[in-house]
Amino acid sequence: MQEFSHQLLESRRRTLLLTQDLAVGQLSGPRLPIVNPFLWELGHVAWFQERWCLRQGDDLSQRLTPGANLGPSLIDGADALYDSSRVPHDTRWDLPLPNLRATLDYQERVLERVLQRLEREAGNESLAYCAELSTYHEDMHAEAFHYMRQTLRYPEPALGARASIDSVCASAEGDAAVGGGIFRLGAEPGTGFVFDNEKWAHEVDVPAFQISRRPVSNEEFAQFADEGGYERREFWSDDGWAWKEKSLANSPHYWAKQDGLWLERRFDRLRPLIPDLPVMHVNWHEAQAYCRYAKRRLPTEAEWELAACNLGRVKPRFPWGDSPPAATQANLGTGGRVPAGALPDSDSAIGCRQMIGNVWEWTESVFQPYPGFVCDPYQDYSLPWFGTHRVLRGGSFATAARLIRNTWRNFFTPDRNDIFAGFRTCALNRA
């Protein structure tokens, strides 16, 4: 259980790094549909950890539903405050939340008791599962804290340095050719903790295709914007054009043009746009419009995963193999992007670079369950979002390294441009 204890402590350390400098007024923030109050989220991660690791027995068939037979919380009324399945988003600013000191005390008391239980119950597989689930849940909220700070123009958090780019960068231009065939999409049993939407690997027939070796860069997307990409109706789907007209978008979120030069807002500062960084804060509609402009298309998630894994009997956990991500292989858990062609050690077997880390990558695919889908104990993780969200793959610079793998499926609605997402493209022709 020592590994799970270490992960819980590391996850909490990052949560505090991303929030400890915020002023009292910033802990609430404006009422927006794409953020939560920071104070609410800090309590929520503690509540989730307590709910799964302390308040239920070892029967994981007990689901996260109203009326679940749970033990008492360390604070009164915790479920009415922090249960995200029961507390409507728009009401979270109006709740009688404990103040920051009391919230941090709640976090500390819960974590202390969980660590003690892990030490006492070294052979408890149910507890191990819940501890791992709680760690990953907090990791995902830490990334949300990161992009919430960007959304709200808060100062840049003091985090670790970006991945090393000292090594010579071999070319990552052009496309990688991927031979088609029968591919097992999804996670294989026995490969460690995976979420329910990754289960289980199943055969899909993927025709041969060509996929860009690196993500689309700022420079390439700026050319699209400069050539009227946001004004030309032929590049946009009906839904995309409706989003663009309603949002009045004429460039990626957080871009601005001054004296003929593009600037990008990073947190509370406008800075010159760096051409070779991967484009970020574009939504699925914008990625689609760029593809039509470039006479390209987005990869399906099966194509994306195949490009990361290649065909073979044994799927690697990462594009480079099964070894955990090193700083020369993936830009994860840091403070920002590296150039789109950097990190040649990250290349997959077919030559695709940065498929893990740096920016999340939109795919063409609608988020749907795999054949035979069964909810995991945390039933609200995937089930409510099937059919309405699009799949992203690969992780971002703000993603915890322990969280990501080739089979991981992230999902957001196609209008979301606040997240750390970009994309790569495929040639139009399929075999």
> How do residues 343-352 score in pLDDT, each as one tens digit?
999 999 999 9
| CB-neighbour burial class of residue 370 (10 A; exposed 0-12, middle 13-18, buried 19+) | middle
The superfamily in CATH containing domain 161-218+278-431 is paralog of FGE (formylglycine-generating enzyme) (3.90.1580.10)
Biggest CA pair distance of the chain: 64
Question: Going by C-beta distance under 8 Å and a sequence separation of 6 or more, which residues neighbour residue 105?
Answer: none
pLDDT at 19 over 60: yes
Task: Express as a percent the part of the chain with pLDDT over 90.
Answer: 90
CB atoms within 10 A of CB 343: 28
Residue 159: pLDDT band with limits 50, 70, 90: confident
Looking up tokens 């009045």, which residue turns up?
Answer: 248
On the question of pLDDT at 63 being above 60, the answer is no
Return the pLDDT at 66: 47
Taken in order 314, 317, 322, 328, the sign of the CA dihedral is: positive
Give pLDDT, residue 68.
Answer: 61
Segment 251-257 shows an average pLDDT of 97
171 pLDDT more than 90: no
pLDDT at 76: 96
CB 174 within 8 A of CB 213: yes
- Residue 172's pLDDT is 86
Interatomic CA distance for residues 403 and 377, integer angstroms: 18
What's the N-to-C CA distance of the chain in angstroms?
49
Using CA atoms in the order 193, 198, 200, 202, what is the torsion angle rounded to 10 degrees? -140
What rounded mean pLDDT belongs to the chain?
94
Query: How is residue 34 annotated by DSSP?
Result: T
Contact by Cβ (8 Å): 318, 356: yes
CATH of domain 2-151: 1.20.120
In the chain, the amino acid numbered 85 is S
In this prediction, residues 71-87 reach a mean pLDDT of 96
Pick from 111, 52, 60: which is nearest to 82 by CA? 52
Per-residue DSSP letter, 280: -
pLDDT for res 169: 56
| Domain positions in the chain | 2-151, 161-218+278-431, 219-277
Determine the pLDDT at residue 429. 82
Q: Residue 53: pLDDT above 50? A: yes
Q: Quick one: three-class SS letters along 402-417?
A: HHCCCCCCEEECCCCC
Q: Which residue has the tokens 């609200």?
A: 380
Task: Find out whether 396 and 354 touch, Cβ atoms under 8 Å.
Answer: no
At 183-214, the pLDDT tens digits run 999 999 999 999 999 999 999 999 999 999 99
| Residue 323 predicted with pLDDT over 60 | yes
Q: Count of H helices and E strands in the chain?
A: 9, 13
The answer, yes or no, to whether the previous bond of 47 is cis (omega within 30 of 0) is no
Task: Summarize pLDDT for 96-144 with one digit per residue, the tens.
Answer: 999 999 999 999 999 999 999 999 999 999 999 999 999 999 999 999 9
